[in-house]
Structure 1
Amino acid sequence: MDRGRWRRAYNRLVCAVAVFAIGLSGWTLWQWWERRHAVDEACGGLVPVGEVLALRGSGGEITPARNLTDGIRLDDARLPQSCVLRSEEASGRGRGVGESGSFFSAQVATEPTGWTYEPVDDAFEDALDHTNPYIDVPQVYQPVGGGIAGYVTDTGVSVRLPCPGTEHRGEEITAIRASAGLSAATRAEFSENGQLAQDDRDRLARIAVTTANNLAAELGCSDRLPEPPDGIPALNTEPVAPEKAEGTCAWYGEAGLHTGRANASGWLPDRVLESSANELVWQERCLLTVSREAGSAVYERHLEGPAYQRFYKALGGPRSWWLSAESFFGDAAEHVSTDPVDDERAAIPGRGGFDDGANAWWATSVCDGEPAVHVLTAGYPYSEAVARHLEPVFRAYVEDVAERRGCADIAMPPKSDYQEES
């Protein structure tokens, strides 16, 4: 073949490659635009699209989960509103029972919310049994930090921005909230050790903050949240000795309730699960549990006692013996349900009391001019034995919160609400 024919063949090849490359780049750009448009359209233009598409599990085609939510439409309905997105990657990896293929969700809301809050998911389940697929295990959320009112869960981040004197659809609001969650983090391939990966955790914090700030701009609120810090810590998952606690459970170790005469009965917890204490969060929790060693000692000491007999008869198998101490502030304290089933059973402002159906003691106070509710829940059947020992425990907890958060007008349950041994 002469040089002219080689040159013509070469040019045709170059042209064909160029045409293919142009077509491929055009298709790639179209896919890129389609993915971004799907996020923007579903979430009302409030979320930072690039950050969302950088999350684990976001690969392939992005579609809104219309059967779960209509998306965020600020002009069409009252808040709260949410958007849920599915991804081809999350849908295509062997979906299990109950999994929708969704990978991301966002929610925006305003205060007052009128929502119902439940202190403990279920007092009749094992709070520390993360292997039970049928319950939501109570967790101790970490504060976002960096001067931001917000907390981190095992799958997402929620933030709050004060916004007084603003209206939405004719109703006055006092603050706005925004949350961002990685639904795919419930699956091992999109998480690390059962929690969000560090880069996803930091990215979700940025998404939540940006979403809140964008909503503030839409509603005419002048304030903005600062950029969240990098390296937001994961949730604590392993209980530690009370004397090692430095956050929401520090009060228990400082009061010495787990040692000496204060725990002469041996029934009180000797391990705690906590988060960092932060006055900007609107909900905080401390979980307390009895180790196997301490439980065995109680067995040896009280085997023939009536309290242990009631406890043993109701036990029905191995379970953790646990308590949950938590507090709700401001709007979150307006309706705190003391029972996970009956929303009407709620803490009453200005009073303290006991819900025997949920094994929950509650107290109320006023913190920085806003209502607060404090709750101590005992897991069942542990409550059958430990209840009569809990008055000093709950009092120490409420007094610690009151000192840290500047609370006054404390109303505790009467001592008669702590069951006596029969």
Structure 2
Amino acid sequence: MLPDRGRWRNAVNLLLCMAAVAGVLVGGWSMLDTYETRKHRAESRRVIGEACAGLADADEVMRLDGGADRLGISGLNPEIIDIEGLPDRCELGRVGVKAGKDYFRSHFTLAVRALPQADPLHVLDTFLDESPFVRRVSGDDADITARTRIEQRHPLGDGSAGDYDSSAVAVTVRCAAPAEGGTTAIRASAIADYAAGTTTAADRRRLSRLARTAAGRAAAEVGCATSVPELPADLPVPARDLGSATGRQDSCGWYAEYLRGQDRGRLPDRALGVPVAAASRQESCLLAVGPSEVKRIFPQLTEEERGRASLREVLTSSPWWIRTRAFFEEEAAVAYKETRYPTQIDPGEAGHKGQLRWATATCQGRPAVFTLSAGEFRYSRMVESRLAALFTAYAEHTAARRGCVNLVLPGAG
């Protein structure tokens, strides 16, 4: 019992005693919490090291998405990198507790490839290419081609180091001489798997460091002598909004040039490209028809050209679009899928199957593949008479810009 020094002094003493006890409790909890955090982080470092074969910087992985102390191997079928079995990947999840049970939320993936590889890197569909636009089921004022749902990858600097989008960075290092098994390059991709659209600029920088470190370490593991490239300090978010197809200086510049001497007719009035880089291993150009042009063109169509499509359907769910893509060096491992099994596109080949056209060339002694897809079946028939000339203009312009020779184009038709 406190000595009686008066009601107010006793009350103050009581409060001081209670504060001291609370301080001891809080301090004890803080020490326990710090101990638990350190234990979780140590375990996470061990898991990251084992799952990613020592290729990933564990602390950088844990700093992603605002920081995570507990990471584990996610999924029912855990993905763990085997350096002897590239291509391979590790997938890590953020560990939380709900109703007394651990659960995983996607956090990070590291994918590593030794190039060239037996299977194609890019398989393109000849009939139903993936639509880059969000389908809308209603709305008379729909403008679904104003913005793409699929980001186009941008080059890292001049493109020789790799490429990126808002949530993934891929770094490629070239071997001074072929390593065992004929490996000429290593490509490491660091991918943020948490909610789309939430990757910050700081996290993209972390992803670039993770990819760069992993590429260098993987190269050393497989005996690929290389120098790891420096990466740009800033990685701006790739644009998704389409703009006018005229006056462009990006990877759609070829189309702006083509339109200067042509009547556009039914061809796209909108475009979205990527920065032109001298050593990009892949680049793309997306073209689309805006709603005002759809409304102009649609009444001119024959019954056969329209098929069962209505104007509303075109405006809200079946937009008209075209996409070109170019692949260089190791990325030129491209195949098309017409049946169950993909067919490899070999150097010196060119062709036209369904809605896909392709050409090949040699750029600085290495292979290149150029493609054009008319994404919506009815639209591809509407502009079929112009696609051969359009593709020729694209392939010739891109080949000239990249200093390519031996360009092989498909026959007309």
- Could you tell me the TM-score, scaled by structure 1's length? 0.80
Residues 41 and 69 of structure 2 are in contact (CA less than 8 Å); yes or no, is this contact kept in structure 1?
no
Asked if 1:30 is matched to 2:50, the reply is no
Residues 310 and 385 of structure 1 are in contact (CA less than 8 Å); yes or no, is this contact kept in structure 2?
no
Pair 1:104–1:340, CA change in 2 (3 A): farther
Equivalent of residue 310 in structure 1, options 304, 313, 330: 304
Equivalent of residue 395 in structure 1, options 381, 392, 400: 392
User: Displacement of 1:61 after TM fit?
Assistant: 2.4
**Distance in 2 between residues matched to 1:108 and 1:211, nearest whole Å:** 8
Residues 86 and 114 of structure 2 are in contact (CA less than 8 Å); yes or no, is this contact kept in structure 1?
yes
Equivalent of residue 247 in structure 1, options 250, 275, 284: 250
Once the two structures are superposed, what CA deviation does each residue of 1:241-289 show, in whole Å capped at 9, x if it has no partner? Answer: 12242211111112225xx6x226x111111111112233322111111
Equivalent of residue 353 in structure 1, options 334, 351, 354: 351
- Between 341-350 and 373-382, report the one with greater CA deviation: 341-350
Pair 1:104–1:365, CA change in 2 (3 A): same
- In the alignment, what sits opposite 2:182? 172
Counterpart residue identity of residue 371, structure 1: P
Residues 119 and 375 of structure 1 are in contact (CA less than 8 Å); yes or no, is this contact kept in structure 2?
no
1:65-214 equivalent positions in 2, closer than 5 A: 65=74, 67-74=76-83, 77-88=84-95, 101-118=105-122, 120=124, 123-124=127-128, 127-131=131-135, 139-145=151-157, 148-167=160-179, 170-186=180-196, 191-192=197-198, 196-214=199-217
Pair 1:146–1:202, CA change in 2 (3 A): farther
User: Displacement of 1:180 after TM fit?
Assistant: 0.6
Q: Give secondary structure in 2 for the equivalent of 1:395.
A: helix
Residues 126 and 336 of structure 2 are in contact (CA less than 8 Å); yes or no, is this contact kept in structure 1?
no
User: Displacement of 1:38 after TM fit?
Assistant: 1.9
- In the alignment, what sits opposite 2:263? 263
Q: Give secondary structure in 2 for the equivalent of 1:256.
A: helix
Counterpart residue identity of residue 251, structure 2: T
- In the alignment, what sits opposite 1:47? 56
**Distance in 1 between residues matched to 2:243 and 2:362, nearest whole Å:** 31
Residues 287 and 324 of structure 1 are in contact (CA less than 8 Å); yes or no, is this contact kept in structure 2?
yes
Residues 126 and 356 of structure 2 are in contact (CA less than 8 Å); yes or no, is this contact kept in structure 1?
no
Pair 1:315–1:69, CA change in 2 (3 A): farther
User: Displacement of 1:228 after TM fit?
Assistant: 1.9
Q: Percent identity?
A: 29
Paired residue total: 379
CA RMSD of aligned residues (A): 3.1
Pair 1:17–1:354, CA change in 2 (3 A): closer
Q: Which has the larger radius of gyration?
A: 2
Asked if 1:371 is matched to 2:375, the reply is no
- Could you tell me the TM-score, scaled by structure 2's length? 0.82
- Between 222-231 and 359-368, report the one with greater CA deviation: 222-231
Residues 58 and 103 of structure 1 are in contact (CA less than 8 Å); yes or no, is this contact kept in structure 2?
no
Q: Give secondary structure in 2 for the equivalent of 1:381.
A: helix
Residues 352 and 412 of structure 1 are in contact (CA less than 8 Å); yes or no, is this contact kept in structure 2?
yes
Structure 2 gap ranges (5+):
4-12, 137-147
